[in-house]
Amino acid sequence: MTDRPQIYLVTPPAIDADFGGRLSATLDAAPVACLRLDLATRDEDTLLRAADALRAVTEPRDVALVIADHVALSQRAGLDGVHLRDGARNVRHARAELGPDAIVGAFCGTSRHDGMNAGEAGADYIAFGPVGGAAPGDGTLADRDLFAWWSEMIELPVVAEGGFDAALLAALAPFADFIALGEEVWLSPDPAARLAELNRALDQT
């Protein structure tokens, strides 16, 4: 890869009525390719209201908006696609439901095998992670070697996500098509300034 990765922004697990304003300022602080609506709630009405509010911010800025896991809600809310957190399992179903033009992404943890299966099933991108911080399950992190192998062997775009710091940005930027940022941005008292800072760091990789 020769180009720096694009930014893929992930919402916090809960948002309030003021989030739209913070999101607007944040999206204006640095170029963002995609926003993932990734709330902890499973309540459909809450998710639909959130989707409507976020779409009002993303559409004028030409930022793609996808939702985590909810294929049917992606259709109902008129979103750009879905991000599946269970690897390749539901990729074919999502593609069949959403059609060829929708974005279908698959999170595959640290598994090359799942990533390749998801790609064969019709995913538009594969996400691996976490890359840093506290890893779930057996504590395995998606390391530099995984992304280096993928970028050399597989053409399908790859997203790196979860637990970034400055060192990990520098290490993974040469091998990732997208860098997914969530709490790295939203836990800051000034998310817009933090995203601008991380964007400058990517410019220097």
Task: Kindly give the confidence (pLDDT) of every residue in the chain, 205 residues in length, as a single tens digit, with 9 standing for 90 and above.
Answer: 448 999 999 999 999 999 999 999 999 999 999 999 999 999 999 999 999 999 999 999 999 999 999 999 999 999 999 999 999 999 999 999 999 999 999 999 999 999 999 999 999 999 999 999 876 667 789 999 999 999 999 999 999 999 999 899 999 999 999 999 999 999 999 999 999 999 999 998 8
Structure tokens at 128: 């691996």
What is the amino acid identity at position 63? V
Report residue 166 as tokens.
């400055």
**SS3 category, 160:** strand
Identity of the residue numbered 35: L
Which one of 3.10.310.30, 3.40.50.300, 3.20.20.70, 3.40.1190.20 gives the CATH number of domain 6-203? 3.20.20.70
Rounded Cα gap, residues 47 and 158, in angstroms: 26
DSSP string, 166-184: HHHHHHHTTT-SEEEESHH
**Alpha carbon distances (Å) from 50 to 21, 98, 202:** 13, 20, 29
Per-domain residue ranges of the chain: 6-203
Q: Tell me the two tokens of residue 193.
A: 């300034």
